[in-house]
């Protein structure tokens, strides 16, 4: 069974905040306030931008209701622990072909740093899908303007399917 963070409701919620130029212009100052660029990490900024769990979508599943605020943090921590062990060979972006972060987690973090700390910030879309293996995977892609400057970050994250109940639930 796909997890709540894979649901259209959750992905639409995230896209409504970050996928447009206006959305990222609003979110970036909130997400980065007081955070040095080198300490900005994927998985932490979402709950700074929307800090109240009541504003996050509730997903109804056969096993109960799940508040995506709580569920997200659990799965983000799982992904970070997994990707920190995976060697990376991809460049951060086409405009930085010689910058190859050492791990897949470093690549993910640095892509989001680039998006949030650019002037203007770069909108992004993240798709979360079930992994075909027991490992997390991440792919980074950039849409470029005619000068080769990144204008949109596209991230695909594959998460291993876990039995229902992995992560916090709101009610049985």
- Please give the distance of CA 128 from its chain centroid, rounded to a whole number: 8
**So what's the pLDDT on residue 117?**
96
Find the mean pLDDT for residues 85-96.
97
Closest C-alpha to 58, from 77, 72, 43 = 72
- As given in the structure block, the two tokens for residue 65 are 């209701």
| 89 has a pLDDT exceeding 80 | yes
User: To the nearest whole percent, how much of the chain has pLDDT over 70?
Assistant: 89
CA distance 96 to 60: 42
| 12 has a pLDDT exceeding 80 | yes
| 6 has a pLDDT exceeding 60 | no
Angle separating helix axes 68-83 and 8-18, nearest 10 degrees: 80
**So what's the pLDDT on residue 7?**
61
- Per-residue confidence at 134, pLDDT binned at 50, 70, 90? confident
| 162 has a pLDDT exceeding 90 | no
Residue 131, number of CB atoms within 10 A of its CB: 14
Average pLDDT, rounded, for the chain: 86
**So what's the pLDDT on residue 62?**
74
**So what's the pLDDT on residue 170?**
45
User: To the nearest whole percent, how much of the chain has pLDDT over 90?
Assistant: 53
């Amino acid at each position: 069974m796909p997890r709540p963070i894979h649901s259209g409701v959750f992905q639409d919620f995230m896209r409504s905040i970050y996928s447009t130029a206006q959305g990222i212009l609003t979110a970036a100052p909130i997400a980065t306030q007081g955070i040095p660029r080198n300490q900005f990490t994927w998985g932490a900024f979402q709950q700074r931008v929307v800090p109240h769990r009541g504003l996050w979508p509730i997903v109804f599943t056969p096993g109960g209701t799940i508040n995506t605020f709580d569920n997200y943090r659990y799965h983000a921590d799982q992904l970070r622990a997994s990707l920190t062990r995976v060697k990376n060979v991809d460049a951060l972006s086409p405009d930085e072909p010689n910058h190859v972060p050492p791990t897949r987690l470093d690549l993910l973090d640095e892509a989001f740093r680039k998006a949030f700390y650019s002037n203007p910030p770069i909108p992004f879309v993240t798709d979360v899908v079930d992994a075909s293996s027991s490992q997390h995977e991440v792919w980074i892609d950039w849409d470029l303007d005619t000068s080769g400057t990144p204008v949109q970050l596209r991230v695909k994250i594959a998460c291993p399917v876990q039995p229902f109940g992995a992560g916090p639930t709101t009610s049985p």
